[in-house]
Amino acid sequence: MKITGPNAEVSARHDWTDGLATFSVKPIGWQLPDFIPGQFANLAMPSGDDWDTEHGKAVRRAYSIASSPGQDALEFFIRRVDDGELTPSLFNLQPGHAVHLDQRIAGHFTLEGAQPAEDLVLVGTGTGVAPYRPMVLQEGVFERFGRVILLYSDRYVHDLGYIEEFEALAKKNDRFHFFPTITGDVPESDWAGLRGRVQTFLTQEAYERLTGKPLTPDRAQVYLCGNPKMVIDVQASLEGYGFVKHKKREPGQIHMEKYW
């Protein structure tokens, strides 16, 4: 699809750190379509200084939607890549600035493919937590799963977006369990929680110590999103326990979304 100009604007922006922000993007003159939590949308900016209205040249990238359906804007949880083609331009935007938002929302990384299970295990690194936010708020999620386990890692505490929201939800709902973990060198006075990569907690022994229940394919559906190396490593580990990658015609227990 040729992009000849902006059709949306940044309606709000929240900076978690320098280089990590949530952007709310609102359509101009059209309505957002319905979507399923876990899906993505494309954002685009000019490839040069101005929009190329003749040739439609622009830089487009896909981002998971971090907000729930039914709102007038979409939220995107984005980390700036200094040598990237798009994110430096996005991080120059403030509320009111124009951007292009594709009107088509797509993606299969949703809970629709998951079989009912005792545990829904959501594993994310960095901005890979974005699709899980609308998932855990999705109506009916606790009718299909006995518990929802969110295991979320980043290097430093301030990089853990939405942490207060997830902690509040865990206090409110005893079937939602939130386990943030950091991998950076942070003093004990600044972080009393878990440390280490998410892989550390996804061995069968570590998972049972952490959650009180076993990690087995007969009782868990596992979602992996974020760093491709994490996704590959955890997939291999889970397959050693008998888990199988989910396919549309061959339902399994491992659902994956690799970033970058």
Q: Which amino acid is at 185?
A: D
146-160 per-position pLDDT tens digit: 999 999 999 999 999
Average pLDDT over residues 70-90: 96
CATH class of 8-101: mainly beta
Quote the pLDDT of residue 139: 85
Residue 227: both structure tokens together: 């760093």
Q: What is the pLDDT of residues 107-158, one digit of tens each?
A: 999 999 999 999 999 999 999 999 999 999 998 899 999 999 999 999 999 9
Query: Given this model, what pLDDT does residue 244 score?
Result: 97
CA neighbor of 190 nearest in space, from 157, 154, 155, 153: 157
| % of the chain surpassing 90 pLDDT | 88
The C-alpha atoms of residue 77 and residue 63 are separated, in whole angstroms, by 8
- Spatial neighbors of 168 by CB under 8 A, at least 6 apart, are none
Among candidates 34, 29, 26, which has minimal Cα distance to 73?
A: 26
Domain map (residue ranges) of the chain:
8-101, 111-258
| Closest CA relative to residue 128, chosen from 225, 19, 21 | 225
What does the pLDDT average to over 27-45?
A: 96
Nearest-5° Cα angle at 138, 200 to 204: 20
- Beta-bridge mates of residue 245: 254
**Of residues 246 and 57, which shows the higher confidence score?**
246
Model confidence at 3, in pLDDT bands (50, 70, 90)?
A: confident
User: Dihedrals φ, ψ of 64, to 5°?
Assistant: -65, 145
CATH class of 111-258: alpha beta
